[in-house]
Amino acid sequence: MNFALILFILVVVSGIAWIADRYYFAPQRRKVGIDRMPLWLEYTAGFFPVICAVFVLRSFIVEPFKIPSGSMIPTLQIGDFILVNKFTYGIRLPVINQKVVDLGSPQRGDVVVFRYPRDESIDYIKRVVALPGDTITYQDKRLTVNSQPLQYSGGEHYLDPENMRYAKRFAESFPAGLGGNQHEILNDPDRPAGMFPAERFPGFENCQYINAGLTCTVPAGHYFAMGDNRDNSADSRYWGFVPDKNIVGRAFFVWLNLGNLGRIGGFE
């Protein structure tokens, strides 16, 4: 279901009714001394200001999402309700998601929501780990970007609640020259490091797959995104690069988790 399209249609229909009432029906009612709107106008024109406000807020400022899977554990948990900033990377037209005002672009380490390249009706959330033109290597469960290895610390055991398996929790840090972002990831030492995509994807020729990982050069206008739960995430390693045109916004705040109210707050 394309909620943005449904909301847009409601705005158009209620807006037409609101204009019609303001400039035609309301003056006619005043002439005959009737104050109350007919029922059909109450449920169309009467709701226009609210529907319009929701449409503008959701399309250009912030949009709520719910985390459906454990691919971003430990940063985000299943059941987290999050807010996504819609203008950090520019202003886009609703429904078609076409950028009309460029205000910035995703940076390494940003958690972004985007339309899944293989089915744009589905929204995905992952962490950007490489930008257009970057060369990324994922080898033995460690990242290197532009020949600069990321730093890892920690390694304590962590129970992955989705799989009920113990993994190791690390702090992963980009070097200062790559933005310096630090965040947490999970790695399962019992899961193999190698991977191979189920099918070829646009830009597949930019990647080399080996037994223990891969090396890819990110095409112009695209990003390489990975889940923080590295052994339980379907991401760019398997289905390819994220086009800039698919970016929805930057996730930045957990506003509710019904199972754990302590989850509320910002995250990196």
Alpha-carbon distances of 207 from 3, 112, 195, rounded to whole Å: 35, 22, 12
Burial of 98 (0-12, 13-18, 19+ CB in 10 A): exposed
How far apart, in whole angstroms, are the C-alpha atoms of residue 161 and residue 77? Answer: 9
126 is catalytic: yes
Other CB atoms closer than 10 Å to residue 263's CB: what's the count? 18
Catalytic residue chosen out of the listed positions 14, 59, 86, 126: 126
Using DSSP's 3-state secondary structure scheme, residue 237 falls into helix
Catalytic residue chosen out of the listed positions 14, 59, 71, 236: 71
Alpha-carbon distances of 209 from 139, 140, 194, rounded to whole Å: 10, 12, 8
> What's the gap between Cα 101 and its chain centre?
19
How far apart, in whole angstroms, are the C-alpha atoms of residue 247 and residue 241? Answer: 12
59 is catalytic: no
Residues involved in catalysis: 71, 126
